[in-house]
Amino acid sequence: MRAAPTILHLDMDAFFAAAEQASKPSLRGKPVVVGGLGPRGVVATASYEARRFGVHSAMPMAQARRLAPNAAYLVPRFAFYRAISVQVMELLGRLSPLVEPLSLDEAFVDLEAGGVADDRASVRAAGERLRRDILATTGLTGSVGLAGSKMLAKIASEEAKPDGLVLIEPGTERELLGPRSVRIIPGIGPATGEHLRRAGIVTVTDVVEAGEDELVRILGRAHGASLYRMALGHDDRPVVAERDAKSVSVEDTFDVDLHDRLRIRLEVERLAERCVARLRGSGHSGRTIVLKVRRYDFSTLTRSETLRGPTDDPVVVREAAGRLLELVDTTGGVRLLGVGVSGLADYTQEDLFAQAEAREAALAGEAALPAGAEEPAAGAGAAPAPPTATETAERRWAAGHDVRHAEYGAGWVQGSGVGRVTVRFEEPTSAPGRVRTFPVDDPDLEPSEPLPLVPGGATGAAA
């Protein structure tokens, strides 16, 4: 724990959705939801306008559509987001050599290592300058937290949202944390939070009053001791420039044991898509898919499958997890399910852009397929049947993706189906544009690279 607030946490505001609004003038100030558009799709990011309707990340897309039926629903453009992320990370690197990226839109920075004076005014000035530079470079906003530890800097950036800066003075940690939910502490997810609630531990003050011995009894030695230190405001984790991630995983514990095999399969598929979203957010791909199953009797089984090469394709991960589930006996019920990817690697830019269209179409799910078509198998080594000309054209026009027409210029896809594609023609620096509809095989309409958000800035293909 530092005596000065020299650890900075940056979190871009509703990053994917904000990037879409910045590039599409007609969507500014309106609810926008980015994620998989198929029946099993989940929300990756919701704009603040959509959040007012109760839409949030990791929510099933079907539920989001019920809450905000008039929102714009778009397929992610990961190459575009990565290009913006590169610009943001470069700005962070100017502040300090110690930058710890957590995802495309989030990072810690050690200002002390960058030579920023440890007085409050200098630290705040560095944070405000960063926010201005991000806005000028990308056209987007980010929220900044400043504190003497990583935990508190992250809490501060959450308090600062949207588009703000909060500095937590060292020495005020106990007062600040005390009345907050125990879930505010890193590592306390829904399952652990519920476990603590049943023991009467709801707030951070409750954690401190319970004492380390009781927490160790409830959660085990490592977790209990760590939770107690965090509740006291003690967090000595350093900012690490090179994160050596070995795996990415997600899991859910169910209040009632699952018995229905179809429900279990659907939960595994949902977890697989969440895992891929986290995998992509960390900038990795992976070769080994892992399934974790905790049964009714608390016995835990893990099964894994190693692919021929690294992937961050949600269809590949989903189907591999489904195959692994077939190897597990779930008779008697299931308490917990988890899906992970290990054997991580970084995609080269050539790999990334060569695969971008296929991976983004996969995330769109069945909604990107023509009516009545079946989703092709995409497991490791599978060779799907060649699509028809109509299927190829339909699948090419994913909602939100960039196009260019020989006569009307640059635009983006509002939707497609029944042999037609609807396009709104506008650019990041133009007024909201007009909408036109074309046959999906119109020879004058072609997919296009994203335009820069700021004149002279990088495009989605440049990073």
| Catalytic sites, residue numbers | 106
Residues 6+ positions from 321 with CB-CB distance below 8 Å: 268, 269, 271, 272, 289, 291, 339
Q: Are strands 402-405 and 409-417 parallel, antiparallel or unpaired?
A: antiparallel
Let me know: does 108 contact 157? Beta carbons within 8 Å. Answer: no
Distance CA 76, CA 366 (A): 15
Q: Are strands 72-74 and 32-35 parallel, antiparallel or unpaired?
A: parallel
Distance CA 380, CA 292 (A): 20
Let me know: does 257 contact 296? Beta carbons within 8 Å. Answer: yes
Q: Give the relative orientation of helices 314-325 and 349-364 as an angle to the nearest 10 degrees.
A: 70
Let me know: does 263 contact 298? Beta carbons within 8 Å. Answer: no
Residues 6+ positions from 97 with CB-CB distance below 8 Å: 113, 114, 241
Distance CA 453, CA 83 (A): 11
Let me know: does 367 contact 74? Beta carbons within 8 Å. Answer: no
Let me know: does 91 contact 130? Beta carbons within 8 Å. Answer: yes
